[in-house]
Chains A and B, each alone.
Chain A
């Protein structure tokens, strides 16, 4: 039995902000009618969380649920809990027009922490971080690749990208967080 590995296990950097690869996270895509009772119940039962509002992410004890598109959620759990959660969701949604897929291994997850986190992200993303309270999620572009970013705390953000570009993302974030590049845009 082999243990799965994330894209850049243990990668850490400290510059204008701290950048870290977050290791394996459980990630499940759920597509379906987000307004339906069936989806709401399935999500509630599997995660304990309600379906979040548009462009919001709700954090719970064991899971977080992110709004990705009008018919798509991303459910975040422990990596070890994915199979169980997928099974729960599939069972609850049997017979519904809904699709559940494990995408944990398809992504890489990074965290950025520090007061300059928004400045560093603004160097890569065409996003207004002034209008970005904790619990906001934004799917966007980080330089030349797709990314989803959410704010977990005042000075902490999580960024998800495709696994194949994990190294690019790492190089990007650590380059933009290099000391000397202080901006002071977001204070």
Chain B
């Protein structure tokens, strides 16, 4: 059984006991434990079930590569599935639940899949669920959905209770990985005067060296590490980030790192995670290496662990996985585990070494301790169900038909050699080469990812670069640091006491010629249940590309993304295809290195910060007075102002009626206001607008259209000429920034010799439309030095002066057909002006009105709305706006586009008014279908509704729509399709429904 030792454990604090539960069972650990260490200390080896066969799963690893020991952690609103116990620090009150089983971890009905495992081979789901087709939707999909997904998703309505944030940081040299290579690299770069960030995914520094008993500069590795970190902490040019995982390396030296700020101290009032957006000149990936498992039958039974992980648990947390352990290996490193376990008092029954001989210093040291070493030997199979009970041995060079020996044990430590962690090197295009001696891929220093300057910006260092012994690791790290820093003076690298290791022997299967029965019990990916036999089947079925074989078998597609299984799987595939491993290649390494939280990705952007909301100076007034909001771009505009007991429809009808009959007020502050000024302003305006603007006189206004070079209408508005050399362009609410950018684009990139300045003054002014027959009267009540009379300020004129004691511009323009003034005052005065208008308007029953009333009134007048009547394919002529397209001007933006054949064809759809025969309101965007289909097999149509409302003024439904040859078809009745296919007859009429002579706006 796994248990805690009485002594040792370099990372735990035995004075601090922490209570936690696993599946409701109360357990105890120490501060400094990982969840996995604490579980093992409580003899909880069985921690979950595999995804496909629901086989019992135990802890295999001690780090990010762990495929099995994932749990649901915490409670709503903080519950999270799939938390990796090997990299999560224990905290007081931690609540873990195991995953992927029902009704319990010990007794699981889904394990019945295991009994049928021989039928559930690679591609089973693809083959099985194809026929018959109709079964997919009603039988297969619901079944698969019920069983799919690892762990339980948090409750759908739960709001994450924690906060998250992001930060931008800059470094000359970013070092990812705080083992001895990373520390040496960071020190070298920092000594060279560079700005350095050093991050480490774990809570502690030093990586594996302290566990392996490395001696550096005459000190124990742990002491050397501590001294180095102290020194780095004291340097002003160094930032140390423990608990921070280098997640992804991206273009031009952009690196994302994921800091777990408060996971280990729940309840602390801190951001839980922080996403670092780092821009680094050079990035050093000192990310270490991952030990490979060995492929032997029963290698997935709980109690079979990586040899290095067993060593970690023993040395770091004083936890051992059993009382009698067998070590199985193809290399010298695993002998360190035998020694560590032996010294912890565990009975090491034997070291099973697949190599024909083991004569190195480490094997000899093991023999010297009286431990048996069996060379040329393989594990034939492991016995046990939820726990290892024994192993059977056989010769490595055999088919394993019979066992040569049986050893009783409760844990197996396996080592198939080490693979450099090349993920971050590879994220942005770094290439790999195959290292024959280590039987692994490692970074090819001649083909790094390239930065903005065309130079390589990632340098791999230490074990991540294939250097596996402490002394070479330190030298490599130091050199990487110097290189990244561009250090001119070479300094001396820290030295470690020499270690010796004999070469490993690549062993991809145990025994070498194992038969099918054994192979189908050899797990490559224990989470997704992919076995050696599955890869071999995929190869036989023609999956030659490693990317295809991956997707067919799901190898490496589990939450660990193949960290442990990758190389072994490749080797099996290469062997089955009869090709060398480097020719088969690897699958693509994609960020992030390990999963990061959605919270960290969102950062602060949630709730009110989810996206910026633009508010006018009157926003708070609207809010306090019953506004129903409508989003317009990022602005919020009142849709209507509802009174107690009113529906939205009621409110809108009331607002229209009161405005037409007496007085309405509209917050028009969102309208774009762009000043175009300079000696060439008129010339520029004539290019921007389809109509002639240069002839406009100061004090006058003109409605204008803007088209893109295709001739398609994209914005409209009233232009006021401010002076001989200045125009004020009003744009649509959503269009101000776009139009401003459009103007700057043409001025800077095409006509850069024209003397024109553009200034966006949209937000400088609050603008209020005062609309209705009593508009003039209310303005006069406010007091003004501007003569507002019909004669002095006629329709489409503007004046500047003072109104209600404020500096103001008064534009006599109308989007409703009523007598109407738009008043612009500096934004800081906006609310005061609005208050005064409400106050003075009381005697006329003045009402604020919203965007819907505005829409209805403009539709009653047949005025177009950008985005309703236009959709990016409509030219002004389609909308009957030919009058606003100059025929005199030699050129304007869009003129050439409008000359194209398709734009002048009589077949185009044109804007018409639509009156339903029964007076009802046509549905939004309703289509008028015709018999037959077009060339794309779609139903032919002859028109569509672009705007549709109930008009309180006319007491019936009115609509605008684009209809095929519409303007030639006045009086014709066509049918539009309504809800549920109901056909609605509508008569084609003029676009203006109300006050056709336009008398009301001229009073």
Contacts and interface: CB of A to CB of B under 8 A. Distances in A.
Interface string B802-835: 0011100000000000000000001111011100
Contacts of A144: 605, 611-612
Contact of A126 (B168, B614, B762): B168
B890 interface: no
Q: Which of A103, A166, A175 neighbours the largest number of chain B CB atoms within 10 Å of its CB? A: A175
A102 B617 CA distance: 17
Contacts of A178: 163
Contacts of B613: 165, 167-168
Interface string A124-143: 01111010000000000001
Interface string B595-611: 00000000011001101
A187 B679 contact: no
Given A123-B166, A180-B270, A181-B165, A99 B826 contact: no
Contact of A122 (B169, B271, B804, B828): B169
B269 interface: yes
B792 interface: no
Given A168-B612, A172-B609, A179-B269, A31 B759 contact: yes
A122 B197 CA distance: 15
B635 interface: yes
A106 B170 CA distance: 32
B780 interface: no
Given A106-B763, A145-B612, A163-B763, A172 B604 contact: yes
B37 to A, nearest CB: 28
Contacts of B609: 143, 168, 171-172, 175
Q: Which of B677, B679, B805, B831 neighbours the largest number of chain A CB atoms within 10 Å of its CB? A: B677
A127 B615 contact: no
Q: Which of B165, B239, B604, B762 neighbours the largest number of chain A CB atoms within 10 Å of its CB? A: B604
Interface in A15-57: 24, 29, 31-32
A122 B763 contact: no
A162 interface: yes
A71 to B, nearest CB: 8
Nearest to A82: B826
B827 A181 contact: no
Interface in A168-187: 168, 171-172, 175-176, 178-181, 183-185, 187
A164 B675 contact: no
Contact of A181 (B271, B764, B833): B271
A2 B604 contact: no
Contact of A128 (B165, B170, B615): B170
Nearest to B604: A175
Interface string A91-111: 000000111011111110000
A10 interface: no
B672 to A, nearest CB: 12
Interface in B647-684: 675, 677-679
Contact of B167 (A6, A31, A122, A164): A122
B757 interface: yes
Contact of A143 (B239, B604, B757): B604
Contact of B761 (A2, A101, A128): A101
Nearest to A167: B615
Chain B: interface secondary structure?
A: mixed
Contacts, number: 130
Nearest to B611: A144
Given A106-B764, A144-B611, A164-B616, A183 B167 contact: yes
A80 interface: no
Contacts of A24: 828
B675 A99 contact: yes
B712 interface: no
Contacts of A143: 604-605, 609, 612
Contacts of A166: 615
B543 interface: no
B764 A171 contact: no
B997 interface: no
Given A5-B831, A123-B166, A29 B615 contact: no
Given A101-B675, A127-B168, A179-B269, A165 B761 contact: no
Contacts of B615: 164-167
Contacts of B167: 119, 122-123, 183, 185
Given A145-B612, A168-B609, A104 B826 contact: yes
B713 to A, nearest CB: 26
A162 B764 CA distance: 9
Given A2-B806, A180-B269, A97 B239 contact: no
A127 B167 CA distance: 10
B195 interface: yes
Given A143-B604, A187-B236, A103 B761 contact: yes
Contacts of B279: 126, 128
Interface string A53-73: 000000000000000000100
B764 A2 contact: no
Nearest to A32: B757
A163 B827 contact: yes
B765 A105 contact: yes
A167 B609 CA distance: 10
A99 B762 contact: no
A165 B634 CA distance: 10
A143 B611 CA distance: 9
A4 B611 CA distance: 28
Given A143-B605, A181-B165, A164 B764 contact: no
B614 A164 contact: yes
Contacts of B159: none
B165 A130 contact: no
Contacts of A99: 675, 677-678, 757, 759
B675 A2 contact: no
Nearest to B670: A164
A168 B610 CA distance: 10
Interface string B198-211: 00000000000000
B471 to A, nearest CB: 34
B612 A105 contact: no
B828 A125 contact: no
Contacts of B604: 123, 143, 172, 175-176
A178 B806 CA distance: 40
B755 interface: yes
B268 interface: yes
A174 B163 CA distance: 13
Nearest to A179: B269
B233 to A, nearest CB: 11
B679 A162 contact: no
Interface in B263-286: 268-271, 274, 277, 279
B266 to A, nearest CB: 13
A137 B605 CA distance: 26
Interface string B273-316: 01001010000000000000000000000000000000000000
B759 A6 contact: no
B826 A1 contact: no
A187 B806 CA distance: 48
A126 to B, nearest CB: 5
Contacts of A128: 170, 279
Q: Which of B277, B608, B827, B831 neighbours the largest number of chain A CB atoms within 10 Å of its CB? A: B827
Contact of B270 (A6, A106, A168, A181): A181
A159 to B, nearest CB: 15
A105 B279 CA distance: 36
B683 to A, nearest CB: 14
Contacts of B239: 184-185
Contact of A164 (B608, B635, B804): B635
Given A29-B759, A178-B163, 11 more contacts: A2-B829, A5-B832, A31-B757, A71-B757, A97-B755, A123-B165, A175-B604, A180-B268, A183-B167, A184-B239, A187-B236
**Minimum-distance CB pairs A-B, first 9:** A4-B828, A164-B614, A2-B832, A105-B827, A106-B763, A180-B270, A99-B757, A106-B764, A1-B805
5 contacts: A97-B755, A163-B617, A164-B616, A172-B604, A185-B239
